[in-house]
Structure 1
């Protein structure tokens, strides 16, 4: 049986842009396993899990995860990494799509993997979404937030 660290390292290999094996990635999870994209409040369950990979790879087809530190602590594997790639696909947002910019991303990330009996039970990805958006040229719209708060205060 593979160690928990080996299972997690296999998951990263299967999620690389030049490999991208969604079914293989899914097979590493328990039947009811979850992939939690924490900054975006998204949870992928069961057979939805490969969609998290293919969705990201459609925007950054050369996606690569540079593993900086991997710590296996019993049933938990903690990883510090950088998600890297080139913005070559449309990036969906609530306001519409950001068309491909060709910009490179290099996003600091921390992942927590929880395993049971050699399978991934839960994967929590904490990527610096604000850094990713800034690297795409989509910084925060503070002016709109201030105007919305002022409008809400005036209406109250």
Structure 2
């Protein structure tokens, strides 16, 4: 059986834009395993897990994860990394797609992998979504937020 670190390193290899093997990535998980995109409040299970990879790679087809530190603590693997790539695909938002900008992203991220008997039970990805959005030119819209809060306060 592979070590927990080997399983996690294989997961990152399979998620690279140049490799992108969603089914192989899924096979590293337990039957009931989950992939949690924590900043975006999304949880992927079963066949959704490879779709999460292909969806991101559709936006950043050259996606690469630069591993800065890998720390194994029993059945937990903690990884500090940077998610890098080029914005070449439409980025979906609740109000429409952000068209490709060609901008490079370099997003600080921390991942926690929880394994059981050589399989991933839970993968929690803590990416700096605000940094990614700023890097593709989608900074926060403070004006709309302030106007909405003022309208609520005035009862409008």
Common fold, TM-score beyond 0.5?
Answer: yes
Matched position secondary structure for 2:35: strand
Give the structure 1 partner of residue 42 of structure 2.
42
Give the structure 2 partner of residue 53 of structure 1.
53
Matched position secondary structure for 1:115: strand
Q: Where does 1:92-103 land on structure 2 (aligned, <5 Å)?
A: 92-103=92-103
- The whole-number CA distance in structure 1 between the counterparts of 2:47 and 2:121 is 13
Matched position secondary structure for 1:24: helix
Question: Which sections of structure 2, spanning at least 5 residues, go unmatched?
Answer: none
Cα offset for 1:10?
0.2
1:33-66 Cα offsets, whole Å, 9 max, x none, are: 0000001000001121001100000000000000
Matched position secondary structure for 2:16: coil
Give the structure 2 partner of residue 116 of structure 1.
116
Confirm whether residue 152 of structure 1 aligns to residue 143 of structure 2: no
Give the structure 2 partner of residue 141 of structure 1.
141
Give the structure 2 partner of residue 69 of structure 1.
69
1:9-49 Cα offsets, whole Å, 9 max, x none, are: 00000000000000000000000000000010000011210
Question: Which sections of structure 1, spanning at least 5 residues, go unmatched?
Answer: none
Matched position secondary structure for 2:47: helix
**TM-score (structure 2 length as normaliser):** 0.99
Matched position secondary structure for 2:19: coil
Q: How many residues align?
A: 156
1:108-155 Cα offsets, whole Å, 9 max, x none, are: 000000000000000000000000000001100001000000011111
Cα offset for 1:95?
1.4
